[in-house]
Structure 1
Amino acid sequence: MESNVSRRTVLRAAALATAVPAVSAIATQATAAIPTSAAAVPARWAVQPFQLADVTLQQGVFAAKRALMLAYGRGYDVNRLLQVFRANAGLSTLGAVAPGGWEGLDGEANGNLRGHYTGHFLSMLSQAYGSTGEAVFADKIRTMIGALAEVRTALRKDPTGLAASGPFGSGVDNVRGSSQYIELPPAVLATARDLTVSVWVRPSHASAWARVFDFGDDTNRYLYLAARNASGVPRFAITDGGAGREQAIDGSAALPLNTWSHLAVTIAGTTGTLYVNGVVAGRNTSMTLNPAVLGTLRNHWLGRSLYPDPAFAGAFGETNLWSRALGADEIAKLQHESATGDLASYTFAETTGTFADRSGHAGPAKLRRTWGGPSHPGFLAAYPETQFIALESMTGSDYTKVWAPYYTAHKILRGLLDAHANTGDERALDLASGMGDWMYSRLSKLPKTTLQRMWGLFSSGEFGGIVEAICDLHAVTGAPEHLALARLFDLDRLIDSCAAGQDILTGLHANQHIPILTGLVRLHDETGETRYLDAARNFWGMVVPPRMYSIGGTSTGEFWKAPGLIAGTLTDVTAETCCAYNLLKLGRMLFCHEQDSRYMDYYERALYNQVLGSKQDKADAEKPLVTYFIGLTPGHVRDYTPKAGTTCCEGTGMESATKYQDTVYLKGADGNSLYVNLYSPSTLSWREKGITLTQRTAFPYEQRSTLTVRGKAAFTLRLRVPAWCTGGFEVLLNGQPVRQTAVPGTYFPLSRDWRDGDTVEVRTPFRLRVEKAADAQEIQSLFYGPVALVARDPRTTFLRFGLYRNAGLSGDLLPTLKTVAGKPLHFTLDGVELAPFFEGTEDPTHVYFQRAEPAIVFGALDSGVANPVKPGGTTLLDEIWAAAPFADKGALIRQVQAKTTAWRDAGLLGAEDARKVVTTARQASYAK
């Protein structure tokens, strides 16, 4: 396979002729060349992205957030991420400690998701290098790719011994997580009635029931020595009737970790004795069983249990077996002198995986893996293939046994593809291609019914965005089996219902399903099947906006409720950050097919609010400081370090923070259009056109942006008119207003033969507005332009705010608020501070508040009339201000007269109160 990869490769990274300067204040290291070709762009996309290297972020909120993540990426020791991979392959872990949380053996569900965070990290590093060209990122990528290549090679072979310095000069170390054990020859116990087993061990983990040795047929007939029983002390037992008939000896103290200890068990007649470091630790004088009674046994293992117990983690030193019971003085001598048993004797000095027997009787021992070995040479993971095998027979979800192995495979595959795309490292493509070949070899043999059952399992069957990654792999390799593999992940129930426009999302795990749809878009790109694109397009409409919170997130407790149920689902575990990440990706893909501005309106909403707000504004060397959930209950405090900081959301958060610029600009596939989707300080290098476009703005702290063209070319500049921009979007070309209608929620086209130095000024006036929860009109969020403003207040009940009291003729509610001097985008309302959600603080926040307009007030003038309410919650003031903007005060008065008359005639407002309302409206003064 390896020899064919380079011939199949159609994309190779090239380098810029000159280095690109660092883009953040802390990027002081020398930069390397940045590749100009990073990924295959689907031919079916009418609009295409630029490479990360083509768009440079300038100083602003995005660059500041990214600087924190770049610093984290520069400083983190990638050997910690590689620890679980190296351990799984039985390689030295170089003393590294896994990150913890989900990324390690001791994490949730026994570490069954380990390896996923490594994939995220590799993507983050690749994007960081693609953006900045800093050599430090390329060096870390090379280290990781080289290590993963070594891991795959090791997994392909029988395990080899990892040398340890033992009590008498040698030993073999079984790294925790390697699933390795030593198999002794079949007849090693012979027909011994009396017996001594002497073993030097250096345990590295306090696992209960890990075996020093286990000789037996099954869980019915055996004799074993566990390093620690449930009480933490050594235990010897022998039985011919299972656990209930064990004749046992328990020690009196725990073995120390990372220290050599000598264990010996003797059987003489009816007496069994357990020795620890030459001292009797326990004795049983009523034993009726011995090896001869048990007869010839099938399995003779050091470090492995006949039960589903963990493999022994640590080192084995000199091990001897005698066909007699050594005396106490002889056992004591073994603490200081090497010896040779008459049944078997091993020093484990070899590193080949085969260990010579010095006794000359038993024969060599072999190093084995409890799970055998990979089914295919392309296998690469941080845990045994048994996770994938077990999934194939599961009928119900149990993440403590099998936790999303194909999700983890996706993250690793995606990281490898990103590494290849951004550095051109062919080893990364070889590893990725091998993973594709391995998965195809497994899944192509399974019946379709099995695949449908697997992919329908919650959590265990989750596979993330693997279809998208496999399609990207196919775009590079052209291998037909890779495209065939992508189709094997089709979840027909979801695809068919979405394609038909039938909403079955209620009760589904949100982030298990969103990335499936990004994969379907790519499958459409590769196959042309409209069913896939139809499903993705219809799915989008089922989530945005029906199941979307105001900040752009979705899901509560990771699951979807019924469409339109927003206020009724506000909890501490709403808006999983991964969901926003994947919805952004899906919306971007759909926009590349159909240039509907609603996708970019969502993109701006989620990016400027949930994604930016999910990253804490603080540096940390150990964690990326990104939220998992964003609780939307009143007074919620964001948690930026859940589960030790290695969840899926911390992973996607790292990726988000190193590609903020990826959708600021997009280009038409025909080369005739340039889409400006986001108003963000940045510089675009449009190489094909010989154009550089610089965007200068402090957006969203200012409500304008100036774009300057360098170079000459003809194309249409398409400026997004945000849906929220209802206050008069303006465009000035070289200082002169462009007389052209701007419609919110569309693009404003400027077609021109652009000349060097041309400038375009875009003015996007903000207004303060509310967004109402569909299921409770009084529960609302506050927005100023694209920015969600949240109340910072420790109360845990909904705050009650009124906003009409000083509304302007435009309908802008901003005059009701007071600005905070020296703090842009900060306001106060009724003594409560309002601040942008994107500020990553640990303040208690209120994204939603309760609207309360008890009195009819105009221009801060109180009419003395209570604000009447219709069934359903609509008030008289709601209906009056729904007609805003008003051309002048007279237009407002006419609206007030019309609405008070209608409410009076309907019996909802008294005649005298109606008169007072109109009089007050006339007397009041209004801001524009």
Structure 2
Amino acid sequence: MAPPLSRRTLLQSAILAAALPGVGAAVAPGSAAAATLPPPASWTLQPFALDDVALGAGVFAAKRQLMLDHARGYDVNRLLQVFRANAGLSTLGAVAPGGWEGLDGEAGGNLRGHYTGHFLTMLSQAYASTGDTVHADRIRTMVGALTEVREALRHDPTVLAVAGRFATAVENVRGSYRYVDLPAGVLGGAAETTLAAWVKPTHDGNWARVLDCGDDTTRYLYLAARNAGGVPRFAITTGGPGGEQGLDGTAALPLNRWSHLAVTLAGGTGTLYVNGTAVARNTAMSLTPAALGTLADHWLGRSHYASDPVFAGAFGGFDVWSRALTAAEITALQSTPGSGDLVSYAFDETSGSTLADGSGRGLTATLRRTWGAPSHPGFLAAYPETQFIQLESMTGSDYTRVWAPYYTAHKILRGLLDAYLATGDPRALELASGMGDWMYSRLSKLPATTLQRMWGLFSSGEFGGIVEAVVDLHAIGGKAEHLALARLFDLDSLIDACAANTDVLDGLHANQHIPIFTGCLRLYDATGEQRYLTAARNFWDMVVPHRMYGIGGTSTGEFFRARDVIAGTISATNAETCCAYNLLKLSRALFLHEQDPAYMDYYERTLLNQVLGSKQDTADAEKPLVTYFIGLTPGHVRDYTPKQGTTCCEGTGMESATKYQDSVYFKAADGGSLYVNLYSPSTLTWAEKGVTVTQATDFPREQGSTLTVRGRTGAFALRLRVPAWATAGFRVTVNGRAADGTPVPGSYFTVSRTWRDGDIVRVAMPFRLRVEKALDDPSLQTLFHGPVNLVARDSATGYLEFGLYRNAALSGDLLPSLTPVGGKPLHFTLNGTAFAPFFEGTEDPTHAYVRRAEPRVVFGNTDSGVANPVKADGTGLLDEVWAGAPFASRGALVARVRAVVNAWVAAGLLSAADGAKVVSTANGATFVP
């Protein structure tokens, strides 16, 4: 457990921005003070905390509000259900979320618990952003519950008392993996017997045992609440399943209601009773407990068959007699508690781990977990530790058996750290530190070869951003073991290849490996080891643009594909949203180390298009409504509720939507510069300088922004990002006068001055319509208006064909070929097809890529009558003409046309007559400037 932060440390770190994206220092009245992480010395820039940057009205704030409403309205007890169940605590009647959360989720719910971590992070960011104490209250509720869960896991399971058939009863919550371990003498070696139990099943899992006594799967007797047909079954055998002598009921036991089961064996006859009525009789049952001899195990609720579920529900009584009760006696048990002479459990305990025997034989039973106890008191999860244990011996991937347990641990750890940083709740830090201690206790004992094998397993070995989180934990608590733990996750084969700039990404699971490199950057911060920084930088270059779609996303069916293959990978499962989330984190972290504007160009592209577009523009209290994949096939309709709404991507989507402002502004580590990275309506409070900077803009619906500086006089350099797409000009004025210097697209433009209260900086950046071509098929293109990706809305499932040169402007802007839609900014039509921003979260069928077709030479909407000739490499005559844009005048364009035509005629690609028509048409056409 990490020691508490000293007052001095808190005061020092309070003046610095959180290293975590989106976590700030908002403090609610009466709450513990929020904490921060001091930025590493290796960062040349520092971010601002979320509460330093207030979002103004616009596309980001509108999307955020939808998620904030979800954060306020969702019942957090539903998230906590799986944790409480795992610890054997009352789940308060809550129903676990569907999808990947809950025992009925994919792969048996092997990823359950991850969503709680995402939700904690979302709440932490929401609180830091808005100061709304509702979010802080929910954080404290969740942290308090998780504290109770860990405490329960640390100790032997204890009775969960509920109302019983006669008095109290003992419930084993589904997911607690608890059973009753009976003493060896409960059957008494009887030649005749009666077994009777009151049960209230809460789940309809087949083969869940009420009673199972045996050595293995050969010699046993059992009473199951449900067989394969869903009805009760009793069986006894000395020869395995094929030798079973059995009794089967006729109807399923009702869920959530008490039922009485009884079995009598005597004189070769067995009878099964349900609620006092005989439902099955077998006169060929020669086996009795006496025939089984001494057995190893005697269990209530657990089966000797490992694949059978643990009984979920309540036990209200269990009795065994050394004789066969009569039918009348069985009937009497419906109104009178049993009193078996071999054993009698009333289950009327309200605490402790033992269950008293009322037979007088003193056969005390014990409540146990099927998986035993955690290996370390810091263990915290929503499922048993067995997934972590099994991973250590796995040689092949099998997510149905082990599904990314360290990924889930990361989400929980990250959520707890964010909760601590947002609210200062020491319980959250204690839980997080305990998790670090527990993981170190497991992983530090494993050989390096085992660790490398584990982390190389697809899905099973995925660990998400755990390295970044563990290094942050070390930065807070200072425990050397935690830094050592972070390095135990190194996947050396990948890190070394990327450090050597060797591209080995083809075929790798994309989101399993992207966050490895944000972890590398944090390890570089902590250790100074250059290998980590180099690997992260090179990895980014291998993805952007070589495996990047126009919207900024990457991956197909979750996997990286071959370098520079874009058109050849387009499918319904492109651009997993988690990949975009993690690439943004990586880009941001790289930029904090090295101010390459390409990182922020990528950040804007992906945030404004894929991330915004992954959130549906609809309110929903139950679902965050975020895509998993964004299919780029023609006519794709986005699915905002994949797998019932609790996937990793919906988790990261919740996080993204509550930290949109985390990279709008950065400050130089020496305080001498302020970087404006994104143009977004917002107000920055720069406390150290005593100034605020407000951006007034409706960007991207507005092609510019106005920044107003207020506060005390002070000198600093304002560094304004000049987007790489801003080729139509980027103009800056200060108090109405043009700023000195020449802005260059793909750089930062600097305004250095001593700022005075009320100074106004106006940035104008006209948009142009441009295309980006798929690297492996130039005819497949995606359209951008400035930073905004435009998608065609059409239900066709084949690529739509469009020409864009027909009315191109002298500037080279293709926009005049489109028709604006009145009253709807960024909406256009082309040949009757609607085009709209990708970021609009609708369920319209969309075409992110279209097929470029320029069959005829047209200038200024005037058709020359000449077919557009094409070279062997796919370059058309019009492509070569417009490659010379911008043109200062029509004469300059005509001169370009004449030069290209002459070259093509000389090369035999165009006849002289057709060439003359082309030149004449250009000369007579009217062009937009």
Work out whether the TM-score is over 0.5. Answer: yes
- 2:621 aligned residue: 621
In structure 2, distance between residues paired with 1:93 and 1:846: 45
Contact 2:31 2:423 in 1 (8 A): no
TM-score (norm 1): 0.97
Match of 2:58 in 1: 60
Aligned to 2:20: none
Per the alignment, residue 24 of structure 1 pairs with none
Contact 1:15–1:35 under 8 Å retained in 2:
no
Q: Is the 8 A contact 1:36 1:51 kept in 2?
A: no
Matching of residues 428-443 of structure 1 within 5 Å: 428-443=428-443
More deviation, 890-899/208-217: 890-899
Cα deviation digits, residues 624-655 of structure 1 (max 9, x gap) = 00000001000101110111110000000000
| Partner in structure 1 of residue 23 of structure 2 | none
Question: Structure 1 stretch 351-360 or stretch 116-125: which is displaced more?
Answer: 351-360
Superposed CA offset, 1:780-799 (max 9, x none): 00000000000011111111
Q: Distance in 2 between matches of 1:12 and 1:874?
A: 62
Q: How does 1:588-607 map to 2 (within 5 A)?
A: 588-607=588-607
Q: What secondary structure sits across from 1:913 in the alignment?
A: helix
TM-superposed deviation, 1:448 = 0.7
Q: Which residue of 2 aligns with 1:83?
A: 81
Task: Report the counterpart of residue 115 of structure 2 in structure 1.
Answer: 117
Are residue 136 (structure 1) and residue 108 (structure 2) matched? Answer: no
Per-residue deviation, 1:925 = 1.1
Partner of 1:713: 714
User: By how many angstroms is 1:204 displaced?
Assistant: 0.1
SS in 2 for 1:171: strand
Distance in 1, Cα, partners of 2:928 & 2:292: 96
Question: In structure 2, what is the Cα distance between the partners aligned to 1:577 and 1:534?
Answer: 26
Query: Structure 1 CA distance, aligned partners of 2:31 and 2:690?
Result: 19
Assess, with a 3 A threshold, how the Cα gap between structure 1 residues 585 and 34 changes in structure 2: closer, same or farther. farther
The residue correspondences of 1:183-582 to structure 2 (distance < 5 A) are: 183-308=181-306, 309-350=308-349, 351-582=351-582
Task: Summarize the alignment of residues 885-900 of structure 1 with structure 2, pairs less than 5 Å apart.
Answer: 885-900=886-901
Amino acid of the structure 2 residue aligned with 1:620: D
C-alpha deviation, 1:39, in angstroms: 2.9
Letter of the 2:764 partner, please give it: R
d(CA) in 1 for partners of 2:532 and 2:519?
Answer: 9
Distance 2:7 2:509 in 1: 37
Is the Cα contact below 8 Å between 1:271 and 1:284 reproduced in 2? yes
Per the TM alignment, residue 190 of structure 1 is displaced from its structure 2 partner at its CA by 2.0
State whether residues 174 and 314 of structure 1, in contact with CA within 8 Å, keep that contact through their aligned partners in structure 2.
Answer: yes
Q: How does 1:900-919 map to 2 (within 5 A)?
A: 900-919=901-920
Which residue of 1 is the match for residue 22 of structure 2? none
Aligned residues of 2:210 and 2:224 also touching (Cα < 8 A): yes
Give the deviation of 1:43 after TM superposition: 1.9
Partner of 1:23: none
The amino acid of 1:851's aligned partner reads R
In 2 relative to 1, CA 535–9 (structure 1 residues): closer, same or farther, beyond 3 Å? Answer: farther
TM-fit CA distance, 1:472: 0.6
- Give SS of 2:688's match: helix
Deviations 1:63-122 (A, max 9, x none): 000000000001111001000000000000000011111011110000000000000000
Question: Contact 1:15/1:34 (CA < 8 Å) preserved in 2?
Answer: no
The residue that corresponds to 2:802 in the other structure is 801
Whole-angstrom distance in 1 between the partners of 2:521 and 2:477: 19
Aligned counterparts of 2:178 and 2:815: Cα–Cα separation in 1: 67
Letter in 1 for 2:299: W
Secondary structure of residue in 2 paired with 1:863? strand
1:26 maps to: none
Paired residue for 2:38, among 37, 40, 48? 40
**Range that drifts further, 313-322 or 286-295:** 286-295
Q: Report if aligned partners of 1:76, 1:621 keep a CA contact under 8 Å in 2.
A: yes
Change (3 A) 1:303 1:12: farther
Q: CA deviation at 1:8?
A: 11
- Measure, in 1, the Cα distance between the counterparts of 2:510 and 2:788: 25
1:297 positional shift: 0.7
Q: 1:32, CA displacement in angstroms?
A: 8.6
Q: Distance in 2 between matches of 1:816 and 1:39?
A: 51
Task: Structure 2 unaligned segments of length 5 or more: list them.
Answer: 16-27
Closer, same or farther: CA 32–887 of 1 in aligned 2, 3 Å = farther
Secondary structure class of the residue paired with 2:272: strand
Output aligned runs, 1:610-689, within 5 Å. Answer: 610-689=610-689
Aligned in 2, Cα 1:672/1:553: closer, same or farther, shift over 3 Å? Answer: same
Whole-Å Cα distance in 2 between the matches of residues 326 and 656 of structure 1?
A: 65
Contact 1:31–1:134, Cα closer than 8 Å, also in 2: no
Give the corresponding residue for 1:69: 67
The answer on whether the counterparts of 2:465 and 2:515 sit within 8 Å (CA) in structure 1 is yes
CA drift at 1:859: 0.6
CA contact (8 A) 1:721 1:746 kept: yes
Q: Return 5+ residue gaps in structure 1 as ranges.
A: 17-29
Write the distance in 2 (CA, Å) between the matches of 1:832 and 1:32.
Answer: 57
CA contact (8 A) 2:34 2:424 kept: no
SS in 2 for 1:600: helix
Q: Look up the equivalent residue of 1:121 and give its one-letter code.
A: F
Is residue 664–residue 680 contact of structure 1 (8 Å, CA) maintained in 2?
yes
Counting aligned pairs with the same residue, the percent is 71
| SS of aligned partner of 1:805 | coil
CA distance in 1, matches of 2:371, 2:190: 31
Q: CA deviation at 1:12?
A: 7.4
CA contact 2:224–2:233 (8 Å) conserved in 1: yes
- Counterpart CA distance in 2 for 1:802 and 1:36 is 56
Query: What corresponds to 2:828 in structure 1?
Result: 827
Distance 1:41 1:133 in 2: 23
* CA distance in structure 1 between the partners assigned to 2:577 and 2:642 by the alignment: 12
- In the TM superposition, residue 312 of structure 1 has moved relative to its aligned partner by 0.3
Q: Which residue of 1 aligns with 2:100?
A: 102
Letter in 2 for 1:45: W
Contact 1:11 1:40 in 2 (8 A): no
* 1:666–1:34 Cα change, 3 Å: farther
* 2: CA distance, partners of 1:778 / 1:410: 43
Question: Contact conserved, 1:12 with 1:37, CA < 8 A, in 2?
Answer: no
Match of 2:24 in 1: none
Post-superposition shift, 1:282? 1.1
Deviations 1:182-215 (A, max 9, x none): 0111222122111111100000000011100100
1:145 aligns to 2:143 (yes or no): yes
Q: Could you tell me whether the CA contact under 8 Å between 1:110 and 1:400 is conserved in 2?
A: yes
User: In structure 2, how many angstroms separate the alpha carbons of the residues matched to 1:275 and 1:391?
Assistant: 44
Provide the rounded CA distance (Å) in 1 between the counterparts of 2:354 and 2:192: 28
The residue number in structure 2 matching 1:735 is: 736
Residue 159 of structure 1 is aligned with which of 157, 162, 171? 157
Deviation of 1:303 after TM superposition, in Å, equals: 0.3
Alpha carbons 2:356, 2:362 under 8 Å: kept? no
Tell me the amino acid that sits aligned with residue 830 of structure 2.
Answer: L
CA distance in 1, matches of 2:482, 2:279: 59
Amino acid at match of 1:349: D
**Equivalent pair of 1:809/1:886 in contact (CA under 8 Å):** yes
Paired AA for residue 604 in structure 1: E
TM-fit CA distance, 1:5: 4.2
Relative to structure 1, is the Cα distance of residues 884 and 538 closer, same or farther in structure 2, using a 3 angstrom cutoff?
same
Give distance in 2, aligned partners of 1:850 and 1:535: 36
Aligned to 2:926: 925
Q: Which residue of 2 aligns with 1:776?
A: 777
Query: Is the CA contact 2:247–2:272 (under 8 Å) kept in the aligned structure 1?
Result: yes
Deviation at 1:873, TM superposition (A): 1.1
Indicate the residue corresponding to 1:840 in structure 2.
841
Name the aligned partner's letter for residue 881 of structure 2.
I
Aligned length: 915
